[in-house]
Structures are given as C-alpha cells and as structure tokens.
Structure 1
C-alpha cells in the first residue's frame, strides 16, 4: 500500500496544480489479492486524473499483476470512466456546497447562539451570536477552550451525559454581573453519524434574561397583592363569624343562611390567597421545609377529622385506609397537611355529592406511598401530563366549571419535590382518579 501511494504521488508530480497529500490517498486491495511483497509483484498500473471545473481534485489508480495488462482500449475506457465520474462528483460537490451555504445562512440567521462540537477531531462550528457571547464574556477568540471556560462546561462531560440519558440536556448558564448579567437557557442535543453513533453535539443558547426578570416582577406583584388582600379578607371573615354567632345581636334563619354563603366565599378567597403566597414563596426559594419526626398515623387521622366536616356539607364522605403502624418519617407536618388537603379538595370538586373519597397509605421500597382516591368524572389521557402545571385547567362546559385557578396541584408537586419525593396520577374517565405521592422513609 505504501509503495502504491508513492507511485501515485510520483505520477502527480507531473501536475504542479495538483495538491494531494499521501494521507489523502486511500488504497483498497481485496483480501484474496494481498501478497507479502507488493513491490515488484505489480507488473503494470494505470493512473487517471479526475477534474472538476478544470481543476484536478483526485486520481484513480488501477494496477495488475500481469505485464502489459492495459491497452489503448483500456486507456480510453478508463479515461471515459474518469470523465463521467468527475462530472457526477463535480455536480455532487456543487450540490453539497450549495446545501452547506444554505445551512450556513440559516445558522447565521438564527437569533440564538449555536455551537456545534465534533468529538472526532475536537472541532467547533459557531454562528455570529455565539461568537459575540464568547468574545464579550471571555475577551478572547472563539476556541474550544475559551467556550468551555466562559460557560464553565465540558463538552466531553455533556457528551457522556447525553449518551447516558439518550435525550436532550438543558442547563441554565449565567454570565456577567449586575447590569451586564445575562441568563441563557442552553439546550444540548446529539449529533449522530449515518450509523446512528453519537459523534458530537449541538448547543443552542437562548437569552432568557428578560423572561426571568418578568417572572421575578410577576412573583413580587402576586406576593404583594396577596399580602394586601389577606389581612382585610381575614378581618371580613372574623366579622362574618361574629354576626353569624349572634354576638352583635339576634339574627333570623334567612340572615344566617346569607352569612353562611358569605363565609364560604371568604374562606375560598383566603385559600386562593394562601395558594398564591405559597407558590410565590416556592418559586423565589423562600419556602423552607421544617423537617420534624412525623407520626403518619396520628397526622392522617388529624387531617381526616379536619377535612370531613367540609365534605359532609356536600354530602360526601372521607374514609381513611391505613395500616395500624406506619414508620415515623422526617417531614414538614404543615406541608404534608397542605399536600393532602389540596388533593382531597381537588377530589371533592370533581366528585358527585354522594361519593366517597378515600385516603390510603402504605410502605413500599423504603418509601411511604399515599393515595387520595375518588370516584369522580376522571381525567382524559391528553390532560394527565399537564395537570401539575401552574394555572393549567381542564376546559369544561360553562355550567360545570369549578372554583380555583389551577394552583392546588402544582403546589402539591413542588412541596413533594422539596421533600425528595414523587407525585403522579392514575385516572379513568367516568370511573375516578387516584393521586399518589411518595416520600422517602429515611
């Protein structure tokens, strides 16, 4: 093979315009034709240049173990073959170059930063937006090293993470400080070769600084408004209770009914305000879990007693199905109370007036699994993946719409996550739902 390469290179010396290195020449010999000493075994060979737009770009070498193996007909045939191959490859090259230019135009026009990394040779390809980000925050030219240092990442570590997860990876990258601070949402995906093997990655950087600032302002607004509403609403509730109890004077049956309706709506308003405040605290990181030793049997009995009065008003029943002794766990009892209350309240709203709601709890795989089961209308499959999203509500007919703004279940998910647990739901339309959450025993 080395000998053949040298012969081809010697042949190419007669063409000063041709620039082909030895490592660019590929020689393939069928296994059944391999012999120990190629030098001297080849009796005749033939070289044909390949041209593209009057520029040579390659060479075909044909060799034989026979002397005088090629005649003029062979020469004409090989020249025609080279010419036709050159035309085909030239057109293919034009198509590839055209597609590359189109792709580069698209990449350059993307408003987000884009970085492509090839793990085979460590090369990178960036668009102007990514170049500007790296130069601004590193003060250096765009190289693999400057990118990794600026973003505090390792492309090889990201590749390993992609191989393990077999999906995209998302990261938040924060650059600069104070007025120069920018926040980028980085989405990383595989680059695969035709055989499906990962040969690199592509990272898209989207500037989400304004979105994060708007989210912060929204949280502050909701928190401030909720605080302002909570105090007067609590005062209204207190005075309604005073009037309803007859402390301010005797009231008749009809007046008592009106006051009861007012009290129910004020309590509903206070629950909404509390949910808004809790979500604001969770999103801002101000919600702290106060872990204590919790006797689940006692806590679940206490929760049942506090909630069943509310359900009895609707003609509903609350059952508790738990073993005699559940393990003591480290958790925030107030948070657990809110988790189960929100689940039961959700079941109450979507169940008929004579239905039974059941709280079940059991130990499995070193976790405590709790389920709130109802026999309500159920949830169709297309909604199951979204019901734990903030403010997500299932569209219902006007006469069947329920109270709430879609915060109860998202708060549950956040509280369970803060405890290191999981939350999920199983449901069947017209048969009911079972909302689960699990908490680690240790």
Structure 2
C-alpha cells in the first residue's frame, strides 16, 4: 500500500513543485490532525443518541462516544505538541478499542466490530512508520482473537436491530471515512510529488548543455531536448522519426547502429564518438559540416518486465577535443620525426668524425712516443695536447651516440651472466690513471661471495666507469672515493661515495637530465658535457634498475645503482609475425624442377 513514508516523509525537506506546495510530512500531519478532529466531532454528534439509549440500559453507545471524544482530544493535543506518531497511536488505539468493545459486548455485532478494528491497521499503513504498522496488525490479531471468545463460550447475544443497528453501522462508516480521507491525502501527495519530479527532470533535461534524445527500440526518436537545436543547427521537429540517424556520417553509421543494437541487447551503457551533420546557421558558410559528437547510450527499462524497451542517448559536441587530439598526434609525429632525424644525423656525423679523429689520435700518439723520429720537448708537448683533445672528442662523440640511442629506444642489451668482480676490476684499471692524476684514492669494498648478475657487461662497465669518473672529477685533491657492492634483496647494490663538492636538493632532482651540470657557465671549474649521469640513468633503467643520489653541499655525494639479479624484464611483442606458406602445385614434380634448374645454369 502506498504511504506518505514512501517519500521519506519523516522530516522531508523536498518541496513539491506544483499543487499545494506542501511537504509530505506536513500532509501527513494534516491527515492525522483531521482524523483526530473528525473522531471528536463524530463522537460529539453521536453523544445525544448515546445518552438517550443510556436510559434504556444500553451503555455501549455512550462508552464508544466517550472513547472517541477522549481519543480525538488527546490526539489533537499530541499533534499541537508535534508528537504526530503519538497522536496516530492514540487514534489507532481508539479504533481498536471501539471494535473490540462492539465484538465483546454483543457477539451478534462481532462482524461490525471486526470490520471497524480492521480500519486501524489500514489507517496506520497510510500514515504511520513501519514499526507502528507492524504493531497495528499485531493488535488487530489480538482484537480478533478476543472477539471470538464469547462465541466460544456459548454467548450468542441478541440480534441488533433498529437504532442499535444504525449506530453500529455508523461507527463502521465513521472509521471508513477516516481511512478514505487519509487515502485522499496520500493520493494528493503522490500526485503532487510525481508531478514535481516530472517537472524537475524536464527542467533539467531542457537546460542541460548536452543534448538528450530518447529512442524507441526500432530507432525512432521519441524526445529531443532543446539543446539539439544549437548542436545540429535545426529545429527539433526536423530530428523526429529517423532523421537523426540520417545525420550520422556514412563512415561512422555502421559503428553507430551496431552500438545501438548491442546496448539494447546487453543492457549496458556504451560511449562512442561519431561524426554528425550540422546545418550551417551562418550566411557566410551555407554548406553543412560534420562535427564530432560523443554519444553515451544508456538503456532504460521502461516496462516492469525488466526488458530494455527504450534508449536514452546523451550527445555532446567534442569537436574541439578531437582537434586538440589531432594536434597532439601531429606534434608527436613531428617530434618523432625530429628525433629520428637527430639520431640519423648523430650516427652520420659520428661516422664522419670518428674516422679523421682516429687518425689524429693515432698519429699524435706515434708522435708522442717518437715512433717516426725524435721530437723536441715543445713539439712533444704539442703532440700530447693533440692526442688528449682527440681522445676527448672521441669520448664526447661516443656519449652523444649512446645517449641518442637510449632516447630513441634503440640501445639493445646483450644480457648474460657476469660476476660483479669481473665487472668492477677492469673499471678500476681504466679510471686509475685519472685518479692518480688528481691525487684521489679509490677504496673498494666488494665481497667475494656476491652472486652473478644477468646484465649487459659493456653497459654495466660504462655505468661504473661514468660514476667513478664523475666522482674523481668533482673530488678535491687528496680526496677519497669508496666503491662498494653488496646484495640487497633481489638486486645488486653498487655504490660510489666521494668527498667532493656535493650537490643541493635542486640539483639532485635534476640528475639524469641531458647536458645538466651542477655548475654551468663559463666560470665552471670542471669540464664535461653533462651526459655521464644521463647515460647512467638510461642504462640502469633499461636493465629495470634504479639510480639514487644522496648528497650534501661540501660533504660529498653517494650515487647508488640497484640492478636486478635476474636481469631486465623482457616484454614479449604484442603481435607476432606470421610467415605465409605457399603449397607447391602438384603438377611440378621434383624431377621437372631439377631439369629446369640445370637449364637455367
């Protein structure tokens, strides 16, 4: 049974848009107050008759009228005190008591009493909360059980007739009127509430920026919101029937119709992007154009059988978003093309520069060692400077090429099991002359029981050499560098700690950026390209490892590399290549093929 509590009537704050404009809680309160007033009024009107029959020793009408008067007055007091549920309990008790008294006083009137008592739970179902509804039905069962006690004891009672029959019928009619009045209040509340809901949703649909379209299962348009006029540049009636589907671009129409059918079948929401024709409203461009529209298809269960009988579609103009996506895609393509061009340029220039540089380094080395003849001290010094500069240029070119391959994702790792000791020892030999030249001591802390690591040996050596070279470069004369290696979980921890100039927090955050140096400008004290740590970070990340730095200005820097022991995780290709096999025709026999081969030879 529909109740005012279906609205969440208790302290409901939502106002009905039309009708009386009253809230459901106020309507419930009015209904209970009217029932109390009607109960007291009917009892007062029937009191003269009750007093009249009281002289004939019929006390039941007087008792019933007294109960009605008292209950109506008490319920009115409760309503004014804002105890609405207590007032309803009072009315419920009065109706139950009257019905029970009629059944007990005269078994012949038990039917009237039971019918009257039945009105109490009906009234409570309309106006009361769930707990009071359950209590009312329990009370009714008790009243009905008590009403049959006289009949079980053999009391037949006297047949009611005349004035008493009219009074009993009047009591039932009064209770029925109470229920009917409450039902009319509930009906009015539902009518107002439903109308307000419809008006609220209509207002929302008509004023939302997105276009709302309601479709029948066969694709016919049932409703179009006013936003469609600005989206499609036409009147709403021009989109009726199947005209809206005709505006979908021919290339997108199959996907649109397929999505329409799949949503109705699967009853799941789906969103697609399609191009739809927009009529031009500008006289400067009379021709229509196509705009990108995001269509969100939502199935609606209009029927009670759970079948999706309609489809609601939200249409939103996303042309600007599509244009931005296209611009981003073009920018990505341009950036990729520029990166490829840079890689090709570096590869070409590296080849072109390495050949003469190798000659310069080789011949200058011969001159330094006086292979072609004895040189003066000045010429030997010049040859040494040429040799050092050539080697420096070769090193810069190698770093540039490595960095470009790493950035382009074309640096291929050749992984194999290697021992950490065999990795670190050659690196120390390479940087030892540089360390002696700057008067920097290198201390190693490498245990003998380190596990093997699966990695690219050449890349790992370059990582260690770059870290050691960096530490030596930024260490003071007489400084100390500690190279340590240890196992850390499933990783190999390689750490290089120096006592050099250190870095601040801002510089630490920028470690790994290409060409970044702690001190830039013409007044810097340390030479370099700023690619060493960039290459280290790139190679470590290719192995699936991490690069960490801890530093303090003036106290030194500790660079830590974590490399997984099991090697980099290699992701398989998403798609595999399939070789197409062609069957040889049966007409070509091996002997014929051999003959053809001999003729060709």
1:27 and 2:12 matched: no
What corresponds to 1:368 in structure 2?
492
What corresponds to 1:324 in structure 2?
448
Measured after TM superposition, the shift of residue 216 of structure 1 is 1.7
CA deviations on 1:302-340 (whole Å, 9 max, x unpaired) are 211221112212222222121122112222211111001
Answer with 277-286 or 299-308: which moved more: 277-286
Q: When the two structures are superposed, what TM-score results if normalisation uses the length of structure 2?
A: 0.44
Measured after TM superposition, the shift of residue 252 of structure 1 is 2.7
Alignment partner for residue 435 of structure 1, among 559, 567, 574?
559
Measured after TM superposition, the shift of residue 425 of structure 1 is 0.9
Given the superposition, is the C-alpha separation of residues 396 and 331 from structure 1 closer, same or farther in structure 2, using an over 3 Å criterion?
A: same
Given the superposition, is the C-alpha separation of residues 47 and 335 from structure 1 closer, same or farther in structure 2, using an over 3 Å criterion?
A: closer
Measured after TM superposition, the shift of residue 426 of structure 1 is 0.9
Q: State the SS of the aligned residue for 1:370.
A: strand
What is the alpha-carbon distance in structure 1 between the residues aligned to residue 376 and residue 541 of structure 2? 49
What corresponds to 2:347 in structure 1?
223
Number of aligned residue pairs: 303
Cα-Cα RMSD: 4.2
Given the superposition, is the C-alpha separation of residues 311 and 339 from structure 1 closer, same or farther in structure 2, using an over 3 Å criterion?
A: same
Given the superposition, is the C-alpha separation of residues 98 and 379 from structure 1 closer, same or farther in structure 2, using an over 3 Å criterion?
A: farther
Measured after TM superposition, the shift of residue 215 of structure 1 is 1.8
The correspondence of residues 51-130 of structure 1 with structure 2, limited to 5 A, is 60-61=23-24, 62-67=26-31
Q: State the SS of the aligned residue for 1:434.
A: strand
Measured after TM superposition, the shift of residue 398 of structure 1 is 3.0
Q: State the SS of the aligned residue for 1:363.
A: strand
Given the superposition, is the C-alpha separation of residues 401 and 27 from structure 1 closer, same or farther in structure 2, using an over 3 Å criterion?
A: farther
Answer with 343-352 or 399-408: which moved more: 399-408
The answer (yes or no) to whether the contact 2:476–2:500 under 8 Å persists in 1 is yes
1:390 and 2:518 matched: no
Q: When the two structures are superposed, what TM-score results if normalisation uses the length of structure 1?
A: 0.59
CA deviations on 1:96-138 (whole Å, 9 max, x unpaired) are x7999xxx9xxx9xxxxxxxxxxxx95769899xxxxxxxxxx
The correspondence of residues 207-286 of structure 1 with structure 2, limited to 5 A, is 207-286=331-410
Given the superposition, is the C-alpha separation of residues 59 and 206 from structure 1 closer, same or farther in structure 2, using an over 3 Å criterion?
A: farther
Q: Which residues of structure 1 form unaligned runs of 5+?
A: 6-25, 34-45, 51-57, 71-85, 109-120, 129-138, 146-181, 186-204
Measured after TM superposition, the shift of residue 246 of structure 1 is 0.3
Q: State the SS of the aligned residue for 2:454.
A: strand
Q: Which has the higher strand share?
A: 1
Measured after TM superposition, the shift of residue 282 of structure 1 is 2.2
The answer (yes or no) to whether the contact 1:380–1:428 under 8 Å persists in 2 is yes
Q: Which has the higher helix share?
A: 2
The answer (yes or no) to whether the contact 1:183–1:209 under 8 Å persists in 2 is no
Given the superposition, is the C-alpha separation of residues 141 and 355 from structure 1 closer, same or farther in structure 2, using an over 3 Å criterion?
A: same
Given the superposition, is the C-alpha separation of residues 441 and 248 from structure 1 closer, same or farther in structure 2, using an over 3 Å criterion?
A: same
The answer (yes or no) to whether the contact 1:297–1:325 under 8 Å persists in 2 is no
What corresponds to 1:346 in structure 2?
470
What is the alpha-carbon distance in structure 2 between the residues aligned to residue 440 and residue 345 of structure 1? 23
Measured after TM superposition, the shift of residue 231 of structure 1 is 1.5
Q: Which of the two has higher C-alpha Rg?
A: 2
Measured after TM superposition, the shift of residue 247 of structure 1 is 0.7
